[in-house]
Amino acid sequence: MLIFRVMGLFAVIPIALLLTVSFFVLLSLRKVEQQGLKAFGYVIAALLWLGAVLVFSAGVYTISTGRHPMMAVMQEMMRGKMQGMMTAHMPGMMQGQKQMLMKDKSKTMTPGQMMNQ
């Protein structure tokens, strides 16, 4: 989809924020005397750079493929929730009928058709 390709360009905003914060962390490290605090600052800067690389790679993936990296995961989660809701809101059905309904997604059956089987 074209909208997801354009959304990949918006990855520039969090990348810029992460790199700006890491710049100021490294700038403040120049004035720090304690070695422990300096090491902690370098670790924080490295984590910020890692985050920027991850956001950059997700943006490149979105621009190149037109799909968001988490789209498949979100669709699978919603599919599981919908199946759970279907079984929870059908208390009059027997357990075998619920399982048959969940297994056979290709054809839709009304509750009346299921009772006639």
Nearest to 4 by CA among 87, 90, 95, 66: 66
On the question of pLDDT at 109 being above 70, the answer is: no
Q: What global pTM score does this model have?
A: 0.58
CB 25 within 8 A of CB 48: yes
* Between residues 73 and 42, the one the model is more confident about: 42
According to the model, what pLDDT value does residue 41 have? 94
Please give the pLDDT value at position 115: 47
Question: Percent of the chain having pLDDT more than 70?
Answer: 66
What's the angle, vertex CA 49, arms to CA 35 and CA 29, rounded to 5? 25
- Round the average pLDDT of the chain to a whole number and report it: 77
Query: Poorest-confidence range of 10-19, 34-43, 61-70?
Result: 61-70
pLDDT at 96 > cutoff 90: no
